Amino acid sequence: MGLEIERKFLVDHLPAALAELTGSAIRQGYIIVAEGGVELRIRQKQARFFQTIKAGEGLSRTEIEIELSQGQFQQLWPHTEGRRVSKTRYTVPVGDHTAELDAFAGELTGLFLVEVEFPSESASRHFSPPDWFGAEVTEDRRYKNKQLAVYGIPTT
């Protein structure tokens, strides 16, 4: 069972490196979004399909991921109606780390978020965000994909 330690930021301006990168098309939807951070998400990333079970919240949370067949994904997708996000994900090197920059599409067009995953909480605390990163939103629930899927871009 993986333990994810990641920090999430708004984007102040898009990094120059982005022009050289090819993004991955991602669509994801939530079948379950329950109290206590429990969620069941399915995701299509290019031509591959995944199911992720999450439990717990904040800096440390637990994830279980399995790969799905296209047929399994197609059976589950209708049950995510009204709780979906589409985005293009770019993988951007940031010092010793790798950032995932998400350019949202559909009703979330105009929103960009960047996430960095760390091997330890110590590494997470010592990370210096580059100048193109904006405000940190790791603890801001409104920027969780499941919240964005249901409520759209935060207005304040």
Q: Which residues are part of the catalytic machinery?
A: 30
E-state strands within the chain: 2-11, 24-33, 39-45, 48-55, 60-68, 84-94, 97-104, 112-117, 133-136
56 or 134, CB closer to a second copy? 56
Do 134 and 10 contact (CB within 8 A), yes or no? yes
Query: Considering the complex, what minimum distance in angstroms separates the CB of residue 28 from a second copy?
Result: 16
| Interaction between residue 53 and a second copy (CB under 8 A) | yes
Beta-strand relationship, 97-104 and 48-55 = unpaired
- Name the segment binding a second copy (CB under 8 A); options: 16-24, 60-68, 104-112, 141-149: 60-68
- Closest by CA to 41, choosing from 76, 9, 8, is 76
| Interaction between residue 83 and a second copy (CB under 8 A) | no
Query: Considering the complex, what minimum distance in angstroms separates the CB of residue 81 from a second copy?
Result: 10
| Interaction between residue 150 and a second copy (CB under 8 A) | no
Q: Is 19 helix (H, G, I), strand (E, B) or coil?
A: helix
- Interacting residues toward a second copy by CB under 8 A: 1, 31-32, 34-36, 38, 40, 53, 55, 64, 66-69, 72, 75-76, 78-79
